[in-house]
């Protein structure tokens, strides 16, 4: 059927059997600690002693490193370079290039910020690799998240690849009819309308039909809905969540206390 | 208050939001293919905002950046408050009747741009120390080197780059809304907000006004380019 935009990989591991909310808490805790901890090396340590071992534990390490190389490192590396060169802090100049100079302080600052971004993104990647989006959403819905939110997230992930494919088709079609997408600025600006038009009107035409279809399935009904899949939530999961929350509180408290 | 938020959302709103998010992302990538110096990544958000209301617009913006961050480019994630504010402001402007003719749409775009510039500044300063991974940071970096304070450097960069992008976005969204059949628009919570004012036929949406509006955008582009040359040259 439809291709779904999802990183999820079905494996049989301890992490895969955790409750989705526990994994979400874990990810948010990692990010919050990386951003609030007063100690300079915390984000770096988190990557080494938490995120990478966790990806091995979840048996998704090869995919994790592939995503890291393709997505995370280029973004973090670019941020690192921009900040290392452009931050106007510090005195000890290490490297000079025209009006830009890299100082020891800006280098340290950039290194930490880039690692924080790595923690943020790789933690999310880890969550997406080990958790199916519908599983996460149905667990959150069961805990009281309005069903409409779950619908928006899941159906966006479904529509997006279709829309991207449609955009590619429209570009190719208009190019084959001689639409200029490569020459001067004015021409390219002008070719925006024949590209956006078909894409947007085509998708907006579906809205009413979809609305009627989901309304027929009781979308706005206030009754409690039953679920086909029961997602287990053992007490060990609750314990893990509490430990994580306490760790975050400690990190924030230390930050406030020390600064 | 809660009632006001609720009346933004009917079933058609909920169906439109995912499509709007996909439009944001697809057009954002399409613009990259065309190598245009704008983002145009909030057309869907503005559409939802004017058709359904400010709160629906804000939700679309926030979710749009979240999903963009999760699925495509992780560095988009921290900017969700900016996207939410764009949706909210566009919705408010539409509520005040500023989405009914080309020149009003230009005003909407400008106000949205100023809002976006103001909201994005603290995020850029606190989270990234002023230098983000976007191309316009070269301007910020230059301003910093010339001895400007970090806040003023970041704010002036946004004020130079945002208006062109947001006015173009608002105008494209207006053109799209005008192209939709009346019957479709009627199903959304706020169909009266996009009703074109003026008497004869197309009224406020006539071509002369459109050309004037496009002229304003071109002038703004030239002005921004001129300012840039002044800043970088002097």
Whether the Cβ atoms of residue B81 and residue B123 lie closer than 8 Å to each other: yes
Which chain A residue has the Cα nearest residue B180?
A201
Contact check, Cβ <8 Å, B172/A215: no
Cβ atoms < 10 Å from Cβ of B8 = 22
Q: Is the ipTM of this complex over 0.90?
A: no
Domain with B149, as residue range(s), is 2-233
Spatial separation of the C-alpha atoms in residues B14 and B9, rounded to whole Å: 7
Spatial separation of the C-alpha atoms in residues A186 and B81, rounded to whole Å: 32
Angle between helical axes of A147-176 and A133-142 (0-180°, round to 10): 150
pLDDT for B232 equals 61
pLDDT for B62 equals 95
Which chain B residue has the Cα nearest residue A106?
B129
Written as six digits, the tokens of A35 are 């951003």
Mean pLDDT of chain B: 83
Domain with residue B129: its CATH number is 1.10.1760
A-chain residues near B137 (CB < 8 A): 82, 86
Say if residue B223's pLDDT is above 90: no
Which chain B residue has the Cα nearest residue A117?
B75
Distance from CA of A197 to the nearest CA of B (A): 8
Minimum-distance CB partner of A163 among B22, B129, B141? B22
pLDDT for B197 equals 66
A-chain residues near B23 (CB < 8 A): 163, 199-200, 203
Backbone phi, then psi, for B97, in 5-degree steps? 85, 20
Minimum-distance CB partner of B22 among A78, A160, A192? A160
pLDDT for B84 equals 96
Of B2, B121, B120, nearest in space to B61 by CA: B120
B-chain residues near A8 (CB < 8 A): none
Better-predicted residue by pLDDT, B95 or B73 = B95
Bridge partners of residue A97, in order along the sequence:
A100
Question: If pLDDT is split at 50, 70 and 90, which confidence band does B201 have?
Answer: very low
pLDDT tens digits, one per residue of B16-51: 999 999 999 999 888 888 877 778 889 999 999 999
Which chain A residue has the Cα nearest residue B30?
A167
Coil, helix or strand at residue B57: helix
Spatial separation of the C-alpha atoms in residues B53 and B94, rounded to whole Å: 8
Provide CB contacts within 8 A for B140, sequence distance 6+.
A86, B124, B130, B131, B153, B154, B157
User: Tens of pLDDT along chain A (259 residues)?
Assistant: 334 556 788 888 889 989 999 999 999 999 999 988 888 899 999 999 999 999 999 988 998 898 888 878 887 888 788 777 777 666 677 777 666 677 888 888 888 888 988 888 888 888 888 888 888 888 888 888 888 888 898 888 888 888 989 999 999 999 999 888 887 877 888 888 888 888 999 888 888 888 999 989 888 887 877 777 788 889 999 999 999 999 999 999 998 888 7
Better-predicted residue by pLDDT, B226 or A255 = A255
Which chain A residue has the Cα nearest residue B150?
A88
Mean pLDDT of the region B183-200: 78
Say if residue B111's pLDDT is above 50: yes
Contact check, Cβ <8 Å, A160/B15: no
Written as six digits, the tokens of B168 are 């173009």
Question: If pLDDT is split at 50, 70 and 90, which confidence band does B199 have?
Answer: very low
Minimum-distance CB partner of B145 among A88, A109, A211? A88
Distance from CA of B160 to the nearest CA of A (A): 19
Cβ atoms < 10 Å from Cβ of A103 = 19
* Torsion, Cα of A166, A169, A175, A178 (10° steps): -90
Backbone phi, then psi, for A96, in 5-degree steps? -130, 140
Say if residue B228's pLDDT is above 50: yes
pLDDT for A88 equals 67
Q: Which stretch of DSSP H or E encloses residue A210? A: helix A206-216
Written as six digits, the tokens of B136 are 């316009």
Minimum-distance CB partner of B34 among A153, A181, A204? A181
What is the number of structural domains in chain B? Answer: 1
Say if residue B200's pLDDT is above 50: no
Written as six digits, the tokens of A86 are 């452009």
Contact check, Cβ <8 Å, A5/B71: yes
Provide CB contacts within 8 A for A237, sequence distance 6+.
A18, A19, A21, A22
Say if residue B89's pLDDT is above 70: yes
Say if residue B15's pLDDT is above 90: yes
Backbone phi, then psi, for A97, in 5-degree steps? -150, 105
pLDDT for B112 equals 95
Most confident residue range from A146-155, A228-237, B74-83, B92-101: B92-101
Contact check, Cβ <8 Å, A188/B77: no
A-chain residues near B29 (CB < 8 A): 164, 167
Mean pLDDT of the region B55-62: 95
Spatial separation of the C-alpha atoms in residues A89 and A102, rounded to whole Å: 9
């Amino acid at each position: 059927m439809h291709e779904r935009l999802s990183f999820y990989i079905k494996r049989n591991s301890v992490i895969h059997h955790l409750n989705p909310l526990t994994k979400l808490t874990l990810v948010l805790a990692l990010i919050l600690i990386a951003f609030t901890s007063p100690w300079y090396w915390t984000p770096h340590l988190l990557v080494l002693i938490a995120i990478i071992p966790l990806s091995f534990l979840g048996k998704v390490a090869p995919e994790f490193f592939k995503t890291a190389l393709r997505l995370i490192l280029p973004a973090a590396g670019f941020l690192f370079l921009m900040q290392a060169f452009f931050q106007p802090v510090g005195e000890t100049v290490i490297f000079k290039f025209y009006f830009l100079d890299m100082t020891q302080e800006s280098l340290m600052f950039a290194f930490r910020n880039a690692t924080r971004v790595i923690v943020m993104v790789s933690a999310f990647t880890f969550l997406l690799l080990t958790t199916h989006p519908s599983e996460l959403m149905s667990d959150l819905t069961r805990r009281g998240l309005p069903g409409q939110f779950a619908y928006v997230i899941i159906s966006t992930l479904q529509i997006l690849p279709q829309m991207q494919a449609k955009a590619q088709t429209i570009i190719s079609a208009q190019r084959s009819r001689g639409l200029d997408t490569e020459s001067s600025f004015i021409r390219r600006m002008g070719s925006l309308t024949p590209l956006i038009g078909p894409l947007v009107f085509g998708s907006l035409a579906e809205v009413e039909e979809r609305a009627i279809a989901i309304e027929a399935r009781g979308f706005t009904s206030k009754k409690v809905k039953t679920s086909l899949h029961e997602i287990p939530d053992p007490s060990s999961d609750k314990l893990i969540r509490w430990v994580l929350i306490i760790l975050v509180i400690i990190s924030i408290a230390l930050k406030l206390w020390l600064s | 208050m809660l009632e006001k938020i609720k009346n933004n959302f009917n079933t058609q709103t909920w169906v439109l939001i995912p499509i709007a998010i996909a439009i944001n992302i697809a057009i954002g990538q399409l613009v990259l293919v065309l190598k245009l110096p704008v983002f145009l990544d909030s057309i869907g958000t503005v559409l939802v905002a004017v058709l359904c209301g400010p709160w629906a617009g804000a939700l679309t913006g926030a979710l749009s950046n979240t999903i963009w961050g999760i699925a495509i480019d992780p560095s988009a994630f921290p900017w969700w408050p900016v996207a939410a504010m764009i949706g909210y402001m566009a919705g408010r402007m539409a509520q005040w009747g500023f989405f009914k003719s080309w020149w009003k749409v230009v005003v909407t775009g400008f106000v949205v741009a100023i809002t976006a510039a103001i909201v994005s500044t603290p995020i850029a300063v606190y989270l990234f120390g002023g230098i983000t991974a976007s191309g316009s940071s070269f301007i910020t970096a230059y301003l910093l080197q010339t001895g400007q304070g970090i806040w003023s450097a970041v704010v002036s960069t946004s004020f130079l780059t945002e208006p062109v992008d947001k006015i173009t976005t608002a105008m494209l969204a207006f053109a799209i809304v005008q192209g939709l059949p009346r019957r479709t628009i009627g199903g959304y919570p706020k169909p009266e907000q996009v009703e074109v004012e003026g008497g004869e036929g197309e009224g406020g949406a006539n071509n002369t006004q459109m050309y004037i509006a496009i002229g304003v955008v071109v002038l703004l582009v030239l002005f921004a380019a001129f300012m840039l040359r002044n800043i970088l040259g002097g």
